[in-house]
Chains A and B, each alone.
Chain A
Amino acid sequence: MSGTFVGMPAFPKAAHDAVHNETLRGNLRHATHTIRAKRANAVAELSDWAELREAGKRIKDHTLRHLDRYLVQLEEAVTAAGGTVHWAADADEANRIVADLVKATGESEVVKVKSMATQEIGLNEALEAEGIRAYETDLAELIVQLGKDRPSHILVPAIHRNRGEIRDIFRKEMSEWGRPAPEGLTDTPAELAEAARLHLREKFLRAKVGISGANFMIAETGTLVVVESEGNGRMCLTLPETLISVVGIEKILPTWRDLEVFLQTLPRSSTAERMNPYTSMWTGTSDGGAEAGDGPRHFHLVLLDNGRTDTLADEVGRQALRCIRCSACLNVCPVYERAGGHAYGSVYPGPIGAILSPQLRGTASDIDASLPYASSLCGACYEVCPVAIDIPEVLVHLRERVVEGGPVTREGNKVVLQPAKGHAAERAAMRAARWAFTHPGVLRSGQRLASRTRRLHPRTLPGPGQAWSGSRDLPAVPAEPFRDWWQRTNGGKTEKGTSK
């Protein structure tokens, strides 16, 4: 299946198709507007939301500042409780570690809890190449997997699908992967959920290996936390003998008490719930003697870097690592609503994807160089972010990296990026405009020329201006710029009919 995003076109091209797909736009509009309104209500219930947001931001910033110390503490705690910790510098290393761990169990299939980290590294595809089949068990991930599709939302990967499409996918594809869809399946939510339940239950009961991510890792106790709505995650976390958790290194929290903040802000921001229906926590393994924790029989934690320490090295961009993957920014973003999640060419779409992906992957590819521009900088994402990531600030910072280049850290080394190709004309125009704007006489001459020739102006523009005039009329240039009126009338004092 095509779960990865290799070779994606730049954002504007990918968005073009989505904008003109009426079904997709309808699905997205309906889904984002519904959750947007619910989230606003859930947040309004808490009188201390602003304080919780500030606390979340501070806890995350503190943790990131001392990440090395807390990661070592976590490793010690997980190990003491009977788990095994593995360190993965990049996607390839993480995939290899997981594949080897699965092979060592003698199994050739695994069940998966919904996980952004394993999507990010393309784990399912890597396992398939090793002859291991990974079954997604989250309902939306199941729809994406059966539909040979890509996720388009952090929390609701199949947000771009409606019920009719899901029914068709179940009918057509379920038999390929296990128990077929019931005869005469309709598109009512209850029937669709029951079909998925029957299909998945067989897999839960058979699987010997589970693979998960984690929403949080607690350094002081070595505890991992997964929050979810369906209970499928809990089945994967408790039924298999071996659990392999792949988690980004930034998901750490220093203490158990810190959870207090995020278990309030995450569910309200993501699903507009006061509390997640399922909160699962596990520490190490359950059969490791006196020191044992309460996890599965065998537990492996794969700590994933994959560009995170490089991101941490950037003073402005590092705030993206505060993200708790709630997806509130996606649901409120007017660009995401029209362009759809696939246009972002990453498992992290929307505003957070536009700042996270070009940092984790670098800005060398067309898609990654275009992502910082996939925003009108309206600021709605910053307003809803429960850890106060100033996404517009990071977007502009990354734009600067694309057009001007500059120092960055890649794979732990300081390098100086050259300006990206394809911006030469824009750069020249910006320089020329800066020159004119620092010479007021030049600006004035230009304005006068535009006013005098106004009857000759074409209704549509050539070159890059076509992007404007293809869909919007240009304003008419006035007969006289303001500054000429000001000078001619002495600020309106000598003009007839102007009040004083």
Chain B
Amino acid sequence: MRVALFLTCVNDTLYPDTGRAVVKLLTRLGVEVDFPMAQTCCGQAHYNTGYRHEAEPLARHFSDVFGDYEAIVTPSGSCGAMVRELYPRMGERARAEGRGDTLAATLAPVVQRTYELTEFLVDVLGVTDVGAYYPHQVTYHPTCHGLRGLGLGDRPRRLLQAVKGLELVELPGAEECCGFGGTFALKNADVSTAMGVDKVRNAESTGAEVLCAADNSCLMHIGGTMTRAGSDMRPVHLAEILASTEKEPAA
């Protein structure tokens, strides 16, 4: 099977390790991964800040880049939710504004074929034990768009529970937002920070070494809050844990 990796602009620029981990993991599971070089950004920040008309060209660009692949896999719940949940909505709005069905029709193929990483592993490949080894105590934060947007359910937890050596510790208030929220983190910095501090406090109360999530944007906010507070905890993307093996363990 050949899939396109939609890494997201944030991961591409700031978290290339997550991208390498996804490639390593999928390759190990027998999937041929392609990285279309023309990919950029799904337009989520534009759309969610109110710039829908700036987001539309980015959705079209996404469709041009990824339209021909049988599956598109992304290690980001929020960017995955943008494509799956909000692209159709952009199509509906364009139609309501008398611009016909063109946008909806253009986006339809990528909407149907885009999977968040854990969905792809569990639903498409049908695996929960990916042969990973990660001898650490881990607590898991289910990000809002993964949890409520895409409805990932217990897929990430099932994948983590199957990792050899990993001890999964419950995160109190796990389903509460960490406070990132894209431009919310800038526009309402005080509230965003207060939410982040509470998330870090809850994470630290578990005594785990690692806070895991399947979205680096949330981890950027949580991790930045952790280091500012002098915490010893490390934020790690789920893909990096799943890519880790006994032969090549992740740090």
Partners in one complex: yes
Interface residues of B in 33-54 (CB under 8 A from A): 33-35, 37-41, 43, 45-54
Complex Cα distance A473/B226, Å?
A: 8
- Chain A nearest CB, measured from B143 CB (Å): 9
Q: Give, as a whole number of angstroms, the nearest-CB distance from B185 to chain A.
A: 6
Q: Which residues of A contact B186 (CB under 8 A)?
A: 464-465, 467-468
**Candidate in A379, A402, A472 with the most chain B CB atoms within 10 angstroms:** A472
CB atoms of A379 and B27 under 8 A apart: no
A437 on the B face (CB < 8 A):
yes
**Quick check: B184 and A375 within 8 Å, CB to CB?**
yes
Question: Given the complex, which residues of A lie within 8 Å of B193, measured CB to CB?
Answer: 19, 471-472
State which of A142-150, A183-191, A322-330, A425-433 sits at the interface with chain B.
A425-433
What is the bound-complex CA distance between A480 and B182, given in angstroms? Answer: 24
Q: B225 contacts which chain A residues (CB < 8 A)? A: 471-472
Q: Which residue of A378, A402, A473, A491 contacts B177 across the interface (Cβ within 8 Å)?
A: A378
Does B94 belong to the interface (CB within 8 Å)? Answer: no
Q: Are A482 and B43 in contact, CB atoms less than 8 angstroms apart?
A: no
A373, CB-defined interface residue at 8 Å: yes
**Pairwise interchain contact A433-B46, C-beta atoms closer than 8 A:** yes
Contacts known (A373-B187, A491-B23); A426 close to B7, Cβ less than 8 A: no
Residues of A close to B19: CB separation below 8 A: 482, 485-486
Chain B min CB distance to A118 (Å): 30
Interface: B137 (CB within 8 A): no
In the bound complex, do residue B20 and residue A482 qualify as a contact, i.e. CB atoms below 8 Å apart? yes
Report B148-195 residues with CB < 8 Å from chain A CB: 148-149, 175-177, 179-195
CB interface residues, B 15-39, toward A, < 8 Å: 15-17, 19-20, 23-24, 27-28, 33-35, 37-39
B189 and A481 contact, CB distance less than 8 A = no
The residue in chain A whose Cβ has the minimal distance to the Cβ of B187 is A373
Given that A404-B52, A430-B46, A434-B57 are known contacts, is A374 also in contact with B189, CB under 8 Å in the complex?
A: no
Q: Does B11 contact A (CB under 8 A)?
A: yes
> Judging by beta carbons under 8 Å apart, are B46 and A434 in contact?
yes
How many residues of chain B get a CB closer than 8 Å to chain A's CBs?
A: 76
Q: Which of B98-106, B111-119, B216-224 contacts A (4 or more CB under 8 A)?
A: B216-224
At the interface, yes or no: A93 with Cβ under 8 Å from chain B? no
Residues of A within 8 A of B180 (CB): 376
- Are B40 and A500 closer than 8 Å at their CB atoms? no
A60: interface (CB < 8 Å)? no
Residues of A within 8 A of B144 (CB): 376-380
> A197–B11 Cα gap in the complex (Å)?
60
Distance (Å) between the CB of A426 and the closest chain B CB? Answer: 7
Q: Is the CB of A15 within 8 A of B188?
A: yes
- Give Cα distance in the complex from A433 to B49, angstroms: 13
> Which residues 219-264 in A have Cβ within 8 Å of B in the complex?
none
Counting CB contacts under 8 A, is B12 at the interface? Answer: yes
- Within 8 Å by CB of B195, from A20, A338, A382, lies A338
Q: Provide the A453-488 mask, 1 if CB < 8 A to any CB of B, else 0.
A: 000000000001101101111110110111101110
B251 at the binding interface (Cβ < 8 Å): no
Chain B CB within 8 A of A438 CB: yes
Task: Find out whether the CB atom of B14 lies under 8 angstroms from the CB atom of A440.
Answer: no
Among the listed A376, A401, A498, A499, which residue makes an inter-chain contact with B184, where contact means beta carbons less than 8 Å apart? A376
| Contact present for A338 and B24 (CB under 8 Å) | no
Judge if A334 is at the interface, Cβ distance under 8 Å. yes
Judging by beta carbons under 8 Å apart, are B51 and A400 in contact? yes
Assuming the contacts A443-B9, A481-B13, asked whether A438 and B52 have C-beta atoms less than 8 A apart, the reply is no
Whether B7 and A482, one on each chain, are in contact in the complex, defined by CB atoms closer than 8 angstroms, is yes
- Cα distance, A19 to B189, chains bound together (Å): 11
Judging by beta carbons under 8 Å apart, are A396 and B47 in contact? Answer: yes
B130 at the interface (CB under 8 A from A): no
Cβ-defined contact, B191 with A481, below 8 A: no
Interchain CA distance A486-B149 in the complex, whole Å = 30
Q: Say whether A379 contacts B35, CB under 8 Å.
A: no
Contact with B along A403-443 (1 / 0, CB 8 A): 11000000000000000000000110011011011101001
User: Are A402 and B181 in touch, CB under 8 angstroms?
Assistant: no
A-B contact pairs, 12 of them (CB 8 A): A19-B194, A380-B177, A399-B49, A404-B53, A434-B43, A434-B57, A437-B41, A438-B40, A440-B40, A471-B193, A475-B224, A482-B35
> Closest 7 A-B residue pairs measured CB to CB?
A376-B181, A399-B50, A472-B224, A378-B177, A482-B16, A379-B148, A467-B189
**Contacts beyond the supplied A396-B47, A447-B13, A477-B14: 16 A-B pairs with Cβ under 8 Å:** A15-B188, A15-B190, A19-B193, A338-B191, A377-B144, A379-B145, A403-B51, A431-B54, A470-B189, A472-B185, A472-B196, A473-B227, A481-B13, A487-B37, A492-B20, A497-B248
